[in-house]
Amino acid sequence: TGPLTQAVLSLLDHADFVRRLEVRANADTPEDAARARRLGAQGIGLCRTEHMFLGDRRALVEAMILARDDTAREAALAALLPLQREDFTGILAAMDGLPVTIRLLDPPLHEFLPDRTDLAVRIASAARPDPHDRELLTAVERMHEQNPMLGLRGVRLGLAVPGLVAMQVRAVAEAVARRLRDGGRPRAEIMIPLVGTVEELRLARAEAERVLAEVATETGTTPDCPIGTMIELPRAALTAGRIAEVADFFSFGTNDLTQTTWGLSRDDAEASFFPLYLEKGVFAASPFETLDQEGVGRLVELAVKAGRAVNSRLETGVCGEHGGDPESIHFFHRAGLDYVSCSPFRIPAARLEAGRAALTGAAGGDSR
């Protein structure tokens, strides 16, 4: 390594020495996890499991969600279980000894279901339409949503599809048991997305705990698997004190929290009137890139404070895009979060910025 690389490395060492914020990665493959680790990630703050259900597995997901009856759904879930177990085993191996926060399935539903126009065209243009296609179209139409981002996502899907939470939690628990048997140090955490009320978390958590206990008995292991929630709806932030009674950790989903606090579509806003707003100075920067401290940030601060007041061991982090944004990192440091989580390629800059925040941040210290 040349002198410049040496200088950067020693700067990073220095930042690591002074920073209080941990830096984790958003990663959902063993390759990304390994890359993030090489760049200094101290764990995975967000493993998005919906990315594991695309490609070849789409048909199984369709079958699970649109299943005609319990038997069909159970068959799809049984086929998904070993695939998920492999997914998690690989990621836990790549991050051995470090926390891996596995988020239960959180897709916008339309990304998983077949397109209804395509289906209708296929039926209309077939000489003898496949009866399965007709059945599928009826099911897809029944589940069609005008606003999928505000629809059957996250914990809502977990509660609506019997066996889904259990399948994913079982896959995590079995992967942990396997890693333990192989002498590893797996540290899986289970994260429930898009919670709006403590009751949703209570139900999902009870199901997760039931399955963890089941697998513990079957395998003779006692995996320590914290269960927490994302805070990504204003209502969750406003009722954080209640939610913290049932959560081991909070992870702020600032992408959705920005969308829902502002009433702006994540998918459309930047392409529509954002350029005009930036030009007119309504925004200094896109609130999806740099945290809106006055609005979204207030909700973060409020939730951290309320959550810790009832649960002093509550871990707090952020896993939205803002976790890798320099200015936002300074804010998260001041708000007293435990970690930021960002894309692997942003890890070195986040480490540096967390170090700078510790040196320059006004309030700085842990707010506990």
Residue closer to ligand PEP, measured from CB, 239 or 260: 260
| Interatomic CA distance for residues 143 and 366, integer angstroms | 45
For residues 93-132, which are near ligand PEP according to CB under 6 A? Answer: 106
Applying CB under 6 A, does 253 fall inside the site for ligand PEP? yes
Give which of ligand PEP, Mg ion, none residue 29 binds (C-beta under 5 to 8 Å, depending on kind). none
Q: Is 182 annotated as a binding residue?
A: no
For residues 34-63, which are near ligand PEP according to CB under 6 A? Answer: 46, 48
Applying CB under 6 A, does 325 fall inside the site for ligand PEP? no
Q: Is 103 annotated as a binding residue?
A: yes
- How many CA atoms are closer than 13 Å to the CA of 162, on its beta-carbon side? 9
Count the Cβ atoms, other than its own, within 10 Å of residue 155: 24
Candidates 60-68, 230-238, 280-288, 309-317; binding stretch for Mg ion (CB under 5 A): 230-238
Nearest approach, Cβ of residue 214 and Mg ion (Å): 29
Applying CB under 6 A, does 197 fall inside the site for ligand PEP? no
Q: What stretch of H or E contains 241?
A: helix 240-243
Applying CB under 6 A, does 200 fall inside the site for ligand PEP? no
Kindly name the residue from 47, 225, 319, 342 that is annotated as catalytic: 319
Which of 253, 297, 324, 361 is in the footprint of Mg ion by CB under 5 A? 253
| Interatomic CA distance for residues 322 and 343, integer angstroms | 10
Which of 232, 248, 325, 338 is in the footprint of ligand PEP by CB under 6 A? 232
Q: DSSP letter string over 28-75?
A: -SHHHHHHHHHTT--SEEEEEGGGGGSGGGHHHHHHHHH-SSHHHHHH
Distinct helix (H) and strand (E) counts, the chain: 16, 8
Residue closer to ligand PEP, measured from CB, 105 or 244: 105
Is 166:213 a contact under the CB 8 Å cutoff?
no
Count the Cβ atoms, other than its own, within 10 Å of residue 180: 17
Give which of ligand PEP, Mg ion, none residue 254 binds (C-beta under 5 to 8 Å, depending on kind). ligand PEP
Which of 84, 229, 254, 316 is in the footprint of ligand PEP by CB under 6 A? 254
Count the Cβ atoms, other than its own, within 10 Å of residue 288: 22
* Structure tokens belonging to residue 250: 């909070």
- With vertex at residue 47, the alpha carbon angle to CA 43 and CA 48, rounded to the nearest 5 degrees, is 165
Q: What residue type is assigned to position 34 of the chain?
A: A
Counting beta carbons within 10 angstroms of the beta carbon of residue 234, is it exposed (0 to 12), middle (13 to 18) or buried (19 or more)?
middle
> What is the maximum span of the chain, computed from C-alpha positions, in angstroms?
72
Nearest approach, Cβ of residue 305 and ligand PEP (Å): 20
Contacts of 43 (CB under 8 A, 6+ apart): 22, 24, 25, 95, 98, 99, 100, 101, 187, 339
342 a catalytic residue:
no
Nearest approach, Cβ of residue 309 and Mg ion (Å): 25
Q: Is 261 annotated as a binding residue?
A: no
Give which of ligand PEP, Mg ion, none residue 46 binds (C-beta under 5 to 8 Å, depending on kind). ligand PEP
Applying CB under 6 A, does 319 fall inside the site for ligand PEP? yes
Give which of ligand PEP, Mg ion, none residue 349 binds (C-beta under 5 to 8 Å, depending on kind). none
Applying CB under 6 A, does 320 fall inside the site for ligand PEP? yes
User: In which residue are the tokens 């628990």 written?
Assistant: 173
Which of 29, 197, 219, 255 is in the footprint of ligand PEP by CB under 6 A? 255
Residue closer to ligand PEP, measured from CB, 46 or 98: 46
Closest C-alpha among 11, 12, 26, 49 to residue 340: 26
In the complex, the residues that contact Mg ion under the rule CB under 5 A are 232, 253, 256
Q: Which residues are annotated as a binding site for Mg(2+)?
A: 232, 256
Active site residues: 319
Q: Which residues are annotated as a binding site for substrate?
A: 48, 103, 232, 253-256
In the complex, the residues that contact ligand PEP under the rule CB under 6 A are 46, 48, 106, 232, 253-256, 319-320
Q: Which residues are annotated as a binding site?
A: 48, 103, 232, 253-256
